[in-house]
Every structure is written in structure tokens, then in C-alpha cells.
Structure 1
Amino acid sequence: MLVFCVIACLVGASLQTENNLDVPNPTSVPDYFQTTYGPFAGATKAGEAPFLAQTNPVLHEPTYVPNAPLVTTLSISGQPRGGNIFALMGTLSPYRANPDGFGVDEYALPPGANITQIHMVHRHGARYPTSGSATAEWAQKLIDSRKNRTVFSGDLAFLNSWDYKLGEAELTARGRQELFDSGVLHFFNYGKLYNAASKIIARTTTMVRMLQSAENFLIGFFGPAWTSNATLEVIVESDGFNNSLAGNKMCENANNDNGATGDEAMDAWRAVYLRNATERFRRQISGSSNLNWTVEDTYNAQTMCSYETVALGYSSFCMLFTWEEWEGFAYMTDLKLYGNYGMGSPVGRSIGLGFVEELIARLERHFPDPPEDSIAFNRTLDEQTSTFPLNQSIYFDFSHDNEMFSMLTALGLTQFGQFLPATHPSPKRALVGSHIVPFAARFVIEVIHAPRPIRATRTRNGRTLDSVYEDRGGETTYVHLLVNQRTVPLGRSIAACGRRDDGWCELGTFIQAQRYNIEKANYEASCFGNYSLPAYGEIRDGAFPRNGTL
């Protein structure tokens, strides 16, 4: 396996922005601390500005647009009381804390216990469709069909004058707000941990939406002068570059789709849950055009609802679908996460492995030292304290939804690894994409120091015990994992952590479990082994089998 240096271009060379303007690159600042858009920023395009005060047909008070402006309270056919389709949009859902939790009680810190360190990984905020996505191509297909005299009627009549107004790959205003608000929230939660006597290093990648997300979060946390408090390390995100925040780029079988077993399941499920909607829409299309409306067209129309809402505030596409069809849409994301980035993929653990290796190093305050066949991070950066500090009390990293789910997979969270059938949603599944990696998702690992061991059971007969501490034992340190502000019970996946009421895990036990998880990833064989795409369901543990056979 080749290990590439992070340096994107020679020091002193100029960087190219998306506007093709030369931006000086100061020779005194290494490239990985440059926050101007460079050659690995990716293609972006600004979308049209929203005009919600004029275009929103839902508002009952025509002169009033609420300060949380997204129109997400639409009445959908079959919608249960209290239901909201924007909780069913999987990884395209606007951020909200997981409303249901992860099946464990949640407790305040016991007296005398202290949070001493946090490790946060944050997804970018709501964005426009990425470069090369099917969304823009589909929009152009519709517009071109009108030139060929296609006429839409019924629920689709708005398409006769509809125009595509979305940009490309960068954050929407909603996305910027999500990250700013999150920065403010994390300051209230953890601001005391910051040591004002020194600057921290936060990490993101070169993609524009990743830079925008990190900067908006840091403004929320520290204020407009955040550069006095933090230095942003910008790691190249591109094929062939080692980057633990974008582990798919350094994993060959993730890049060539040999790990994407979920695609097969998604295709099968899409044909099932959108069959009726596709027939419904076909009856509303006429004219001399040879437009052949397919299930894929229906799926693109459904996807457009979320993209337009987070960009423009309202979308006419949202009400085209029933509640049951939105439930089907949510399940599409779950199949993708499970089959392409989770326990159903041979590279599910490997994509997120670099983060686990770095997490152990940070917890133990040394540079990462995994086995030679499991190096899933950038060695150039991770072997010097200027780019991989070991003494911070707060660590902020910014990544993507799929990669973050793989990080949770690499941490061995088998509770999200239940097999998902491609024929119908599993009703009691723990893997719900909108609960785990919506826009602006975040997970936080708290390190908690306690003066004595904390009882595994904090209540008896429904009442909290007078003392949650054991009678014997010395100082003990715990790990507490929160995903979107809700506790994930580590003992449900890591048996050694025990079945604790609070879902915590003793630090040493947690670290030892992660060392086993590094081995379970079978990194070299999973990422670089010569194998073909396994059938959906053949992989159940997030890695290519060590015996080399499926």
C-alpha cells in the first residue's frame, strides 16, 4: 500500500480557486494550514437566492416568515399525528437531536465526577447536491422534455414552469446555520475545557463544504476571532491521499465499489416502495415527448424535496409522496449505510479505521502505532505534534456522513450492524440514518474522571440510589459516547463494558476493545485484496473474512 504525503503542492506555489484566480500561498505557512480554496477543494457553484416571502404557499400569515424558516410542517397523505417527513430523509435530513435515543437511560454526572476531555467528529451542514450527482442531470432531463412538448398535469403540473435553482457542493444558508448553532451549543457544553493559554488544532478536509463547516462551527464556539484560539488543519481529500477523515479515498476497494454491497439492496427496495408512485406520475405525463418516467425519476423527485427545502426553504416536490413512501425513502439510506459503510460491507470497518487508531493515540497521548498492515491514517501528519497534538482537552474533527458511520462501525458498534432485508423495512432497527448521520450530525466521546468506581446500576425499584459510587475502589476513568446528543450504550456492542444503566465504559476496557477492533478490520485484505463485489448479505462483520473466502 502506498502512503502519500499530505502536501498538496509545493510551498510557495499559488493555489487555484474555483474562479481560477491565483491566490498567494505564504511560504511561512504550511499547506495543511492553508484555508483558502485550493486545487483539492472540488467543484462548487452557488445556487439562486431564496425568496420565501413570495414563493411559499404554506404560510398562513403572508407577511410573517418565522426565524426558523424551513417549511417542514407539511401535511402529507397518511401522516400520523405528530409525524414529520423531514425526520424520514436519512442523510439528507436537516439536523435535529435524535428524538428517540438509543435505548439507554441517561444520567447527569455524579457529584465529584468531571469531564476532562472530549473528542468530537462533526458532519458538514446542509448542502447543495455534490458535483456529478444525478439530481442536476435529472433536472435538466425534465427541462429538456418540456422543449419536446411534454405536458405535466395533476400533482405534477408545477413542473410545466419549474426551474432548477440549486448550486453545487457548498453549504446552503441552513448548513451554515447548523454548524454555527452547533458551535454555540458545544461552547455551552464544553467551553470550560478550553485552555485559553494555548491554541488548539482542529481538523477538516480540503472540500469547500468541509472548510465552510469547520469555520462556521469555530465561529460559533469561539466567536469571530476564532483564529486566536484555534488553528485549522486542512487535510487533502482526494483519491490516493491518506486522510483519516475521508478514509474511503485511501481504500482501493472502497474507491472501486467492491465494498458497495448496499447498492444491490437499494435498487431492489427502490423498485418496491416507489412502484405505486411511479405509476401515479406516469398517468400525469402527456405530450409528444418520448419521456419515459422510471423509478429512478421518481426517486430523484423525492430527493429534490430535501435539497430544495434546505436551499430555498420550501419545495413543491415534498407533497407528491405519501407518508409510507417517505418511510421507504428513509430505509434507502439505512440500506446504503449498512451495506456500503457498515457491517454489511467488506470495507465498513476499514474506512473508519484511521480515526480509531488516532483516537487510541490521543487517549494514551502518543503517536499512532498500529500494526504495519493496519495503517489507515496520514503518517506525515500523525508523527509530529505540530499537526497531531497530544495534549488537548478538546479535539474537533470534521468529516462526512458515510465516513462517520464507518468510524462508528470501526469502533465496533454492532448494535447498528443488524442485517437489513431489502424487501421491507425492519421496524425495530437501531440503524436509522436520520438519527445517526443527518446533515450536521456529530458524535462526541467524553472522557470522565470519577473519584471511585460508579455503580453499573444507578437505580433500584425505580429510585436513584443515595450514592452511585461503589463502596470500594479508587479513581476510575470512563468513556461516554453521544451521537447527536444522545447516549449510545457501549455495553450493547462491547461485552467487556458491561450492561451499565448509563451506557458508559471504563477507559482501559474501551481502549483494549478498540485494539481488537483494529485487528477485526483486516485492513490490508479488506481495502487492497483482489476480490469481487460480494452479494448483499454475504458480509456481516464489516470486513473481508480473514480466511479469504466468503
Structure 2
Amino acid sequence: MISLTCLAVAAFVGQTVAAPSSLKWRRQSTNETLLTDINVISQYWGQVSPYRDNEDSYFGVDDVGLPDGCQIEQVHSLQRHAQRFPTSSFDDGLNDEHFGAKVYNFTSANPDAAFTGPLAFLNTYQYQMGESYLTNIGAATEFTSGVTFWNRYGRTLYNATVGQLQYNASFANATARPKPVLRTTGQSRIENSQISWALGFFGPSFYETPQPGLDNFANGSLFDVVVIPEGGTENNTLASYDSCFEDDLQSSDLGDLDLLFQYVPLYIGAATARMNAYAPDGFTFTNNDTYAMQSICAYENGYIGMSDFCNLFTEQEWQAFEQTLDIEYYYDYSFGSPTGRAQGLGYQQELLARLTNQYITSSNSSINSSITNNAADFPLGSPFYGKF
């Protein structure tokens, strides 16, 4: 049991994309005016949306925070990654790349033909994005997330002194604290998210006395990391689809299969017609092209912080774009997936084991029991657990 001064509580923090309650009314929008406020547009990008907090009252809870006299004793944080490049999936980066190549090939072969009006930028447009890995803006987001976690939870968990900006590896009596253990998969964008988050939480780049070499960070004296391989068939509660063979056989792309062929055409026809009004002879926008333009808007913002594609759609079209992503992830990973519950079981078992101070010595799920059966990889009683 996790003890508090007056109450047994464990705080669980999940880094998620949240829709503030101020936008709830917008879900019913029928306004056909083009939406140009990027702060609103960016909240319709599904899993690609920047991190943001819900308002305190979002879930209808009037009293939030800790009761007087109580103290947080343990926090569990689970997050994935921040802004990234699109993946190679056919309905994600591959569709975006195909559209970018289509435009570039046309303008190169037809230098006298011109897109007009709001699409004039396509006359010189070149698709510039990489594939799958964390962007620099994503790294900055994770750094900020680490700083925020220190301010919200670290200061309380570690009884921070006046003006203390980051984690201190020593107790007040100068003896060493047990090192926190972070866990991540070996996928590039995930591990880089962990590194950037740790730079914010442990704060070696803003010590009172500067350390240009980030010595404490580089030599491993502040924290340990457990990196679980991803991409093979090993058990991994942070990438449970690797060892869920039934998922590969029947449901891994369940939410993707109908996205471009069934969901997207339901809403995007008017936008496609609007784009074709500005296209030169010989170039025709398809529904998939128009969908790629919405997708590129989101990803370019996560890469360079801006995109000419963003002001081309109505709020209703952005709402529908988000709906396609919600449907995709619901059927790929959530309750719409035949294997969704099974994939989530391992992490829940690990969480319960930490809350009850027990090792896990055998596995009937995605748990890798060679990691959960020892104090080095699976410490018990830690003030916080960070998983990526």
C-alpha cells in the first residue's frame, strides 16, 4: 500500500493529447468558413496533436488537488513520444510522400503551369520531411515535459529546497539517493523522448554552476535506464504488439484498412473540389491528396512550426480529420481491436506489482519476467516511475 500522511494514494500521470472543455461546443460546428487559428486547428490532429493539459474541471470533478495535510508519495508516469515525422504506413507518411512527389513531378515537368490562389505555394513546394523519428520540436516538448514533471511532482516527492530547479541525487545529509530507473523501448523516437525528458527533469543543463559537458548526465550518476528492444518478437509491455502474434495475423491494421477508402471520402469531397478549382490543367487532386494536405499540415508544424497547408480547411473538415484518426486508433489498439485488452494487460500487471511492492517472476502476458524479477530493472518503492 502506498502511504500518505492521511490517505493511501498513488498518483498516475499519463502524457496524453487532451481536448480542453472550451472546445467541446466546436464538435457540433457546421461553419464552412476556413479555419485559420492554428491553436484550434492543432487540437484536431488526433495523436499528432501537441501535448496539452485538460482543464481541471474537464471530467466534472469539482475538487481537485490534494486534501489539506496530505502528501503525494509515489507517481507513475506513462508517455510515448512527442512530435515526430510521419511513419511509412500507407495511410500516413506514405500517402503524404506520394502527394509531395506528385506535386513536385508535375511542377518540374510543367514549369509554365501554375497553381493559383491559396495554392500558389505549391508551384515551388518540395516535401522535406523524414520518416518516423523524433523532431527537434518533439525533443523540446519532451524537455519541457520533464521540467513540468519536476515542478508538479518532483519538488513534492523529493522535498525540494527553496529555489531548487531540478532533481538532486543526494539527500540533505549528502548521502546518495537510490537512482531512479527510467524505462523505454529501443525505438529511436521513443528512446530520444526519454533522453530529452530526462534532460528536463534531472536538469544538468541549468545547474547554478554550469557543466558544459553535462558530466552527471553523461556518466550515469543521476539515473539508470532500462532499454527494451522493439521490433522483434520479445515480450515488451511498452510495445506489446511485438509479441502479440494474433495481432499481426488479423487486427494490427484493422483501423487503417478502410481509412482512405471508406472514412475519408465521407467528408472530404467538398475540400477536394475546392482544391481542384485552383489546380492547373493536367493536375487533379484526389481525395487521398486532400487528406495528405491535412496530414502534412500537422506534421510540418511538428517539424518546422508552420505549414502553408493549414489554412485551407473548415473547422468541420478538421473535426472529420480527427475522427478518422480516432477511428484508426480505436480499431488498431483500443477496444475496437480484438487483441487490444490483451495487449494492455501486461502494463496493468506491472503497475499493480509496483503498487503492492511485488516482483513478477513469471509471465502470462507481454511482461518480460527477466526484467521484472529483480531490483536493478524493476525497483520497488521508488518515488516515481517514468516509462516511455
- 1:254 corresponds in structure 2 to 247
How many angstroms apart in 2 are the aligned matches of 1:249 and 1:79? 40
Q: Is the 8 A contact 2:36 2:310 kept in 1?
A: no
Change over 3 Å in CA distance of 1:256–1:153 after alignment to 2? farther
Change over 3 Å in CA distance of 1:210–1:137 after alignment to 2? same
Q: Is the 8 A contact 1:259 1:346 kept in 2?
A: no
Match among 60, 71, 76 for residue 119 of structure 1: 76
Matched, 1:96 2:59: no
Q: Is the 8 A contact 1:265 1:335 kept in 2?
A: no
How many angstroms apart in 1 are the aligned matches of 2:72 and 2:379? 19
- 1:395 corresponds in structure 2 to 385
- 2:202 corresponds in structure 1 to 222
DSSP-derived class of the 2:196 partner: helix
How many angstroms apart in 1 are the aligned matches of 2:353 and 2:360? 5
Q: Is the 8 A contact 1:116 1:393 kept in 2?
A: yes
- 2:4 corresponds in structure 1 to none
- 1:107 corresponds in structure 2 to 64
Match among 359, 369, 384 for residue 379 of structure 1: 369
Matched, 1:300 2:264: no
Pairs within 5 Å for 1:460-539: none
Pairs within 5 Å for 1:179-328: 179-191=142-154, 192-194=156-158, 196=170, 197-224=177-204, 225-226=216-217, 227-263=220-256, 266=259, 267-288=261-282, 291-328=283-320
What displacement does 1:369 show? 6.0
Residues 130-187 of structure 1: CA distance to partner in whole angstroms, max 9, x if unpaired?
3463123331232122233264223222111011222332222221111111111111
Residues 25-82 of structure 1: CA distance to partner in whole angstroms, max 9, x if unpaired?
xxxxxxxxxxxxxxxxxxxxxxxxxxxxxxxxxxxxxxxxxxxxxxxxxxx9354999
Amino acid at match of 1:341: Y
How many angstroms apart in 2 are the aligned matches of 1:393 and 1:186? 13
Amino acid at match of 2:248: N
Matched, 1:155 2:118: yes
Change over 3 Å in CA distance of 1:166–1:106 after alignment to 2? farther
What displacement does 1:210 show? 1.2
How many angstroms apart in 2 are the aligned matches of 1:300 and 1:81? 20
Taking structure 2 as the reference length, what is the TM-score of the superposition? 0.76
How many angstroms apart in 1 are the aligned matches of 2:281 and 2:37? 39
Residues 373-404 of structure 1: CA distance to partner in whole angstroms, max 9, x if unpaired?
x3211122122222111231210000xxxxxx
Change over 3 Å in CA distance of 1:159–1:81 after alignment to 2? closer
Identity %: 35
Amino acid at match of 2:109: N
What displacement does 1:228 show? 2.1
How many angstroms apart in 1 are the aligned matches of 2:284 and 2:372? 52
How many angstroms apart in 1 are the aligned matches of 2:223 and 2:302? 29
- 1:331 corresponds in structure 2 to 323
Q: Which runs of 4+ in 1 moved over 6 A?
A: 80-83
What displacement does 1:350 show? 1.9
How many angstroms apart in 2 are the aligned matches of 1:382 and 1:163? 48
DSSP-derived class of the 1:382 partner: coil
DSSP-derived class of the 2:337 partner: coil
Q: Is the 8 A contact 1:262 1:339 kept in 2?
A: yes
DSSP-derived class of the 1:263 partner: coil
Q: Higher helix proportion, which one?
A: 2
Amino acid at match of 1:87: Q
Residues 89-134 of structure 1: CA distance to partner in whole angstroms, max 9, x if unpaired?
1111122212472333342211232211111101211112234631
Residues 493-512 of structure 1: CA distance to partner in whole angstroms, max 9, x if unpaired?
xxxxxxxxxxxxxxxxxxxx
| Count of residue pairs brought into register by the alignment | 319
How many angstroms apart in 2 are the aligned matches of 1:121 and 1:106? 24
How many angstroms apart in 1 are the aligned matches of 2:151 and 2:249? 43
Q: Which moved more, 1:380-389 or 1:186-195?
A: 186-195
Pairs within 5 Å for 1:438-457: none
- 2:356 corresponds in structure 1 to 364
How many angstroms apart in 1 are the aligned matches of 2:38 and 2:196? 32
DSSP-derived class of the 1:351 partner: helix
Q: Is the 8 A contact 2:255 2:330 kept in 1?
A: yes
How many angstroms apart in 2 are the aligned matches of 1:369 and 1:384? 9
Q: Is the 8 A contact 1:242 1:376 kept in 2?
A: yes
DSSP-derived class of the 2:194 partner: helix
Q: Which moved more, 1:245-254 or 1:188-197?
A: 188-197
Change over 3 Å in CA distance of 1:107–1:203 after alignment to 2? same
Amino acid at match of 2:355: L
How many angstroms apart in 2 are the aligned matches of 1:116 and 1:181? 23
DSSP-derived class of the 1:395 partner: strand
Change over 3 Å in CA distance of 1:80–1:179 after alignment to 2? closer
Residue segments in structure 2 that go unaligned for 5+ positions in a row: 1-31, 159-168, 171-176, 205-215
Q: Is the 8 A contact 1:253 1:347 kept in 2?
A: yes
Q: Is the 8 A contact 1:198 1:229 kept in 2?
A: no
What displacement does 1:346 show? 0.6
What displacement does 1:276 show? 0.7
Residues 181-200 of structure 1: CA distance to partner in whole angstroms, max 9, x if unpaired?
11111111222424741101
What displacement does 1:274 show? 0.6
Pairs within 5 Å for 1:59-138: 77-79=33-35, 84-99=40-55, 101-131=58-88, 133-134=93-94, 135-138=96-99
What displacement does 1:222 show? 1.0
Amino acid at match of 1:168: E
Q: Is the 8 A contact 1:118 1:393 kept in 2?
A: yes
Change over 3 Å in CA distance of 1:141–1:253 after alignment to 2? farther
What displacement does 1:351 show? 2.0
Change over 3 Å in CA distance of 1:384–1:107 after alignment to 2? same
Taking structure 1 as the reference length, what is the TM-score of the superposition? 0.54
How many angstroms apart in 2 are the aligned matches of 1:283 and 1:127? 32
Amino acid at match of 1:141: K
How many angstroms apart in 1 are the aligned matches of 2:321 and 2:193? 26
